[in-house]
Amino acid sequence: MVRTPTTPIYRVLFNNLKGQIDDGHYKKGDLLPSENDLCKLYSTTRPTVRQALSELARLGYIVRHHGKGSIVSEPKNGLGILSIKGSTAGVGKKNLQTKVLAKTAKTNWPIDFPYELTEAQRHAGCLYLSRLRFVNGLPTLYEETYITDIDLPRFTMHNLEKNSLFETLNKYHKVEIKEGEQKIWAVAADKAVSDLLSVKPGKPILHMKRSMHTNKSNLIIYSFLYCNTEEYFIQDYF
């Protein structure tokens, strides 16, 4: 990216505040500076500040109270992107390991791909990877991901064992998840899945198919996952 289009003020403010909440500078329950204070800090006006705060509220980072202020709430995996939670307590990052079974590689779209593809997507081809997630050493979630191979130079080089796919897409390719859809089933584990997740065949397994649109049209991400919900469950916020 040679050309650097100026990022809007509201987005700079949004990113800064979001970062300060993520890194713990503002903690849950804290009151953000008032809109007028933020205006002075960023030399801008209330509508602009409010646009940033609206997006933070939409993602669940803050809750706004009329006459009081904006209160930081639990940072959530907004957008319906799912997280795994232990049945008793939250699972910290250190207890979550990722093993890449199939490294990111260029392939053709499967013939029986369950989503409709545009001509542009077909032409671009896709990147495929599969990962197995362990929670406290227990294989819990198997995920296959298909990413439309558009405008993602050298993407196969990234190490996705240590870093999150979405963080990587955002950080190095400025890809943001915008909207999506997910379908959910409870299925009986077949031979392949029961091997991967170390459960007996026939055990109830959570199965999901997800498609996610991004800020780049045609760059759509598909993810098919199987999750053992015996010890842990899947949780999302909206």
Partner DNA sequence: CAAAAAATCTTGTATATACAAGAACACAAA
Partner DNA sequence: TTTGTGTTCTTGTATATACAAGATTTTTTG
Question: By the criterion CB under 8 A, which residues form the site for a copy of itself?
Answer: 47, 54, 58, 60, 79-81, 85, 179-188, 203-207, 227, 229, 233-238
Pick one of DNA, a copy of itself, none as the site partner of residue 110 (Cβ within 5 to 8 A by kind): none
Helix residue ranges per DSSP H, 129-222? 165-173, 191-197
CB of 27 to DNA, least distance (A): 17
Dist CA 124 CA 117 (whole Å) = 11
Place of tokens 């800064």: 16
* Residue 32 sits in the site that holds DNA (CB under 7 A): yes
Dist CA 198 CA 125 (whole Å) = 33
* Residue 65 sits in the site that holds DNA (CB under 7 A): yes
Torsion on CA atoms 194, 199, 205, 211, rounded to nearest 10 = -50
From 43-51, 89-97, 118-126, 174-182, span contacting DNA (CB under 7 A): 43-51
* Residue 3 sits in the site that holds DNA (CB under 7 A): no
Q: What does each C-alpha distance from 160 to 129, 144, 165, 228 come to in angstroms?
A: 10, 13, 6, 22
Specify the residue, 11 or 58, whose C-beta has the smaller distance to a copy of itself: 58
From 6-14, 85-93, 154-162, 202-210, span contacting DNA (CB under 7 A): 6-14
Place of tokens 């077949």: 190
* Residue 67 sits in the site that holds DNA (CB under 7 A): yes
* Residue 170 sits in the site that holds DNA (CB under 7 A): no
Dist CA 135 CA 234 (whole Å) = 12
Q: Which residues contact 103 (CB under 8 A, 6 or more apart)?
A: 129, 156
* Residue 47 sits in the site that holds DNA (CB under 7 A): yes
Contact residues for DNA, defined by CB under 7 A: 5-6, 8-11, 32, 34-37, 43-48, 50-51, 53, 64-70
